[in-house]
Amino acid sequence: MMDKLVETGREYGMEINIEKSKVMRIAPTAEPLNVVIGNQQMENVEHFKYLGSIVTTDALCTKEVKARIAMAKAAFVKKRILLTSKLGLEMKKKLVKCYAWSVALYGAETWTLRKKEQKYLESFEMWCWRRIEKIRWTDRVTNEEVLRRVNEQRLHEGKLTGWDI
C-alpha cells in the first residue's frame, strides 16, 4: 500500500520525506508498525502534535489536558492585571475566561473526558478563582466558599458553553 502511495505521489511531483514522517498506531495494544518506504523504515512514535493537539497511541486526552492547563496557567500568570486590586471581580472573571479558559479549553470538543481529566480541569478552575481572590493554598477555605465568593458554579455543573461574558 505504501508503494502505491509513493508511486502516486511521484506522479504529481511529490515525495515523502522519511526524516519528517512518523508512524503511530492508535490501538489498545501499542505494537509498533513496520512501515518501509524504499529501503528505509519509518520511525514509530507514541505521541505527536497535530494541528496544535497532542495525539497519543492510547487515544486518551490526558496529555492534551495537562498541556492545555499548563499553557493556560502561563497565560494567566502573564496577565498581571488579573491580580491587581484596581479591577472589580466581574471584570477579573471576564478576563480569566478570555485569557485562561480559552487557552485551556482549545480543542476540548474532541476530548473524551474521564473523571481523571475532569478533576484536572476542576483543579485548574479552582486555582484561577483562588488566585483572583488571593486565597493561598494554605488558607483553610473550602472550594464551595471560594465559588460563593466569586459567584460562580463548578464548570461541570454550569454551562460549559455559557461563557456569560
Q: Which residue has the higher pLDDT, 41 or 159?
A: 41
Res. 157: pLDDT tops 80? no
| pLDDT category of residue 165 using cuts at 50, 70 and 90 | very low
Structure confidence at residue 111 (pLDDT): 87
Nearest to 117 by CA among 158, 73, 156, 65: 65
pLDDT tens profile 13-44: 998 888 888 888 887 776 788 888 888 888 88
φ and ψ at 17, to 5 degrees?
Answer: -90, 110
Amino acid at residue number 151: N
Contacts of 131 (CB under 8 A, 6+ apart): 76, 82, 83
State the Cα torsion 96-143-62-54 to the nearest 10°. Answer: 0
pLDDT tens profile 50-97: 888 888 888 788 999 999 999 999 999 998 887 888 889 999 999 999
pTM of the predicted model over 0.85:
no
- Beta strand 53-56 with 47-50 is antiparallel
Amino acid at residue number 48: F
Contacts of 47 (CB under 8 A, 6+ apart): 24, 54, 55, 56, 57, 63
Contact between 61 and 117 under an 8 Å Cβ cutoff? The reply is yes
Contact between 131 and 83 under an 8 Å Cβ cutoff? The reply is yes
Res. 159: pLDDT tops 70? no
Residue 159: count of CB within 10 angstroms of its CB: 9
pLDDT tens profile 114-155: 999 999 999 999 999 999 999 998 899 999 999 999 999 887
Contact between 107 and 52 under an 8 Å Cβ cutoff? The reply is yes
